[in-house]
Homo-oligomer: A and B are copies of this chain.
Amino acid sequence: MSRVAVNPQLKKAQYAVRGAITTRAAQIQEELANPATAGKYNFDQVIYCNIGNPQSLNQKPLTYNRQVMALVDAPFLLEDEVVCSRFPKDVVARAKATVAAIGGANKTGAYTHSQGYAFVRENVAQFITNRDRRNSGNSNLEAADPNKIFLTDGASTGVKMIMGTILGVTPNDSLMIPIPQYPLYTASLPMMGGHEAPYYLDEDNGWAMTRPELEKSFTQSTEKGHIPRGLVIINPGNPTGQVLTPEIMTDVIEFAHDKNLVVIADEVYQENIYKQKKFHSFREVLLSNNREAIRKEVPLVSLQTTSKGIIGECGRRGGYAEFLNFEPDVFAEINKLASMGLCSNVNGQVMTDLMVKEPVEGEESYESYRNEWDTIFASLKKRAVQLEEQLNDIPGLSCLPVEGSMYGYANLTLPQKFTERVAKENEANGTKLQPDFVWAKELLEATGIVVVPGSGFGQKAGTWHFRTTILPPEPQMEAMAKRMREFQVSFNQQYQ
């Protein structure tokens, strides 16, 4: 037995995106790098499709952003004419303005205000206001308030901030979360003193969210003696990729109002929409509601990050959380919680600024920036279509259209002979492995492809899935589909 006792809620937590399969993948990668062990495998490369980490798969960072960041990190370069002459003029101007807004060259590495740099929050507010006015067609839609925005270390920190505030009120608090969901929610909940109140997305209807399902979930949670405090929506969906319509979003908001729930809108894939769908933020739909009580009373947290979209700067840990309709005393507590971590990292803050305030027409970098942006977007879109087609072409797999996000969430038909084998092995070994986990493990061992089994995201009992990213470069995507098809053909032969 271990001498250090471990928090049982941590032991219970599952975070499949970086779980046992990823650990095994890293071992295989090491073995492949070693000539003595490389021969053990039928492939020469591990293909990581487990995590939305585009730059790790060679997506090129946007040049403008990196140019500005470099000059802000080393502001003395702005005084070197030779160096400056190698940068576009608008980059130099932007970097100078950023350093000035921070308060001068010496201060660029200092702690910021707990909420983040004021000038970045102003630009975030402007971005939100413009986006929602544009998408709603209402140029009078309420403007966002920079003082209600927190710059965060990625969206994860924003999620933990709101969970730390609204959970733990009683030992019976619950949070409504979609199933399937991004596993940060299920993993964090018990550690934050909360319970899951799962609501299911309807795979037969394009992963639809419906009010009756929300009602059912709420009732089930209260019947267990739990008190739902908030409702998480991931739009576009992760891992499911669906994009919500304003109609269902209005239903959700009215439901939240009826039940006195905080709405947590995880909108980190808002730029990643590939089909003829349009993104509407929960904020836009909330502020467009025709009932004043709804507009004024539903507390909403909206989350965004620099990790996804086209920018894909995952490692910067940049992002923001915007709070709407929180009363001042509650907001003060959130602020205190943020202050205990001092501030989010300054490079993430600067990257967030670059995300929300892009070069505009007439500026020297505008065209090259737009070219780079469009190239990345077109490639993501192409691969989203490609992935969906390829998965649907493999026997035993089917995948709904990847409308948005960076993932395909494929439905997996597992032969009875296989699930029986897994059950027998579990009994013999005293393990509780899920059949889709075992399938994903065997896929990895045979092909080097790393996907995340559906049991890590949650799924309707008796159904099996896996999530795979659209991020491998185009030629690798084809190789991946080919290997997966071969594996699956032989798998089906073996178990049928």
Contact = CB atoms under 8 A, between A and B. Distances in A.
A54 B107 CA distance: 9
A246 interface: no
A107 B315 CA distance: 9
Contact of A86 (B83, B187, B314): B83
Interface string A156-169: 11000000111111
A110 B74 contact: no
Given A13-B336, A66-B73, A73-B73, A112 B315 contact: yes
A53 B108 CA distance: 11
A3 B326 CA distance: 8
Nearest to A54: B110
A212 B339 CA distance: 35
B76 A86 contact: no
A8 to B, nearest CB: 7
Interface in A71-114: 71, 73-77, 80, 82-83, 86, 103-104, 106-112, 114
Interface in A323-373: 326-327, 329-330, 333, 336-337, 339-348
Contacts of A15: 336, 339-340
Contact of A314 (B11, B59, B73, B342): B342
A165 B2 contact: no
- Taking the full assembly, how many copies of this chain does it contain? 2
A353 to B, nearest CB: 14
A169 B106 contact: no
A94 to B, nearest CB: 14
Given A70-B73, A109-B312, A109-B316, A341 B156 contact: yes
Most buried by B among A54, A60, A346: A346
Contacts of A188: 340
A436 B166 CA distance: 32
A69 to B, nearest CB: 5
A328 to B, nearest CB: 9
A4 interface: yes
Given A4-B330, A6-B169, A7-B166, A61 B340 contact: no
A485 to B, nearest CB: 28
Contacts of A11: 333
Interface in A183-214: 184, 187-188, 191, 193
Contacts of A461: none
B108 A61 contact: yes
A59 B106 contact: yes
A10 interface: yes
B109 A314 contact: yes
Contacts of A336: 10, 13, 15
A70 B10 CA distance: 38
A317 interface: yes
Contacts of A76: 63, 66
Given A61-B108, A66-B75, 19 more contacts: A3-B297, A4-B165, A4-B326, A4-B330, A5-B166, A6-B333, A7-B169, A10-B168, A55-B108, A56-B111, A61-B109, A109-B312, A109-B314, A111-B314, A153-B317, A154-B341, A154-B342, A156-B340, A168-B191
24 contacts: A2-B330, A3-B297, A3-B299, A4-B165, A4-B330, A6-B329, A7-B165, A7-B166, A13-B336, A13-B340, A18-B339, A55-B108, A55-B110, A56-B107, A66-B75, A66-B76, A69-B74, A110-B314, A111-B307, A164-B191, A315-B343, A317-B343, A317-B344, A345-B347
Interface of A: 2-11, 13, 15, 17-18, 51, 53-56, 58-61, 63, 66-67, 69-71, 73-77, 80, 82-83, 86, 103-104, 106-112, 114, 153-154, 156-157, 164-169, 184, 187-188, 191, 193, 229, 260, 262, 297, 299, 307, 312-317, 326-327, 329-330, 333, 336-337, 339-348
